[in-house]
Chains A and B, each alone.
Chain A
Amino acid sequence: MNLFKQVRFALPFILFLFIVILLMRGLSLHPNQIPSPLMNKPAPTFSNDFKGHVTLLNVWATWCSACAEEHDFLLQLAREKEVILMGLNYKDNPKAAIRWLKQQGNPYQLVAYDPTGQIGIDWGVYGTPETFIIDKKGIIRYKQLGPLTQEVWEQTLKPLIQQLQNESL
C-alpha cells in the first residue's frame, strides 16, 4: 500500500507516456496501404501468361500522375531484364494509352486492357499505380502500392524476385 502511494503521483505521467507511444506509432503507419487478401493466392486472371517465369504486373493509366513518375524506372527495369514486365492498362482511353507508350517508351512485354475496371476489381486494385509480383506457378507473392522507385526495388522487389527465380516450377 505504501508503494502504491509512492508511485501514485507518477500514474498520470505513465499514462501520458503510454498515449505518446501509441500516437508516435500511429504517425508511422500507412492506413492507405491495405493488405491484399489475394496474397499467396493464384492470380485471378491471365493465369496462362504467368506460367514458368516470374512476372511483374504493373497497373497503370495515362490519367495517373504517379504512374508517369515511375515510368522511367519501369523502362530501366525493362532494359535490365531481370523479370518479365506486364502492364494492365486500367480504365483508360486506348488511343491515349497507345500514344503514351509510343511517345514515352513501352517497358511491357505484354499489356492487357481493362476499360471498365472489372479486371482491376478482380485484382483488388484501388489506387494506381499498383505492382504485383507473380511467381512461376502464377501465385501472387507481393503487392506494391504507389510508384516503383530505386529504393523499393533494391530493398524489397529485387531480393524477392531473385528468390522466386530460384524456386523450382
Chain B
Amino acid sequence: MKKILFFLLLLPSIASAVQDYYHFDSLKEQNRFNALTSQLRCLVCQNQNLAESNAPLANDLRNQVYEKIQQGQSDQTIIDYLVARYGDFILYQPPMNVMTIGLWFGPFLLLILGLGGLIFYIKKRE
C-alpha cells in the first residue's frame, strides 16, 4: 500500500516534467499549449494525447504546437495544420460528418430505443 501511494505521489511530477521543458511568455500561451496538446491524439500510442506521450513523434508534434503558438498562430490554424497531415483521427473530439454521424447520434438512438422498450414493458404490466 505504501509503495502504491509513493508511486501516486510521483505521477504529478511526471506530468509537470514535460511542461517545464517549454518556456512561455504568458500564462495564456501556456494554457493554450496545455489545452491543445491534451486534445490532440498521439498517433503512435493511440490512447494517449500529445501532452502525455513520450513517443518521438509526439515530442516532434508538441514542438510544432509550441513553435506555432510562439509564432502567434491561432488554435484553429494549428489544428487545421495537423488535421491536413494526419486526418481527423488526431482529434480526440471527432468533427460531425457523414463518417462520424453514427458516433455522435448512435448513443441517443440506443437511449430512445431502450426508453421505448422500457415504457412499452411498464405500460404492458399495468
Contact = CB atoms under 8 A, between A and B. Distances in A.
Contact of A37 (B61, B64, B86): B86
Contact of A121 (B44, B64, B89): B64
A126 B60 contact: no
Interface in A31-79: 31-32, 34-38
Contact of B84 (A32, A34, A37, A116): A37
Contacts of A38: 85
Which range contains the number of B residues in contact with the other chain?
10 to 19
B56 A37 contact: no
Interface residues of A, number: 16
B35 interface: no
B15 interface: no
Interface of B: 43-44, 46, 56-57, 60-61, 64, 83-89
A34 B86 contact: yes
B86 A124 contact: yes
Contacts of B57: 117, 126
6 contacts: A34-B87, A36-B86, A116-B60, A121-B64, A124-B85, A126-B43
B85 A122 contact: yes
A28 B92 CA distance: 23
Contact of B86 (A91, A116, A117, A126): A126
Given A31-B46, A32-B46, A34-B43, A124 B60 contact: no
Nearest to A44: B85
A127 interface: yes
B87 A35 contact: yes
Contacts of A113: none
A116 B64 CA distance: 11
Contacts of B84: 37
B64 A124 contact: no
Interface in A14-44: 31-32, 34-38
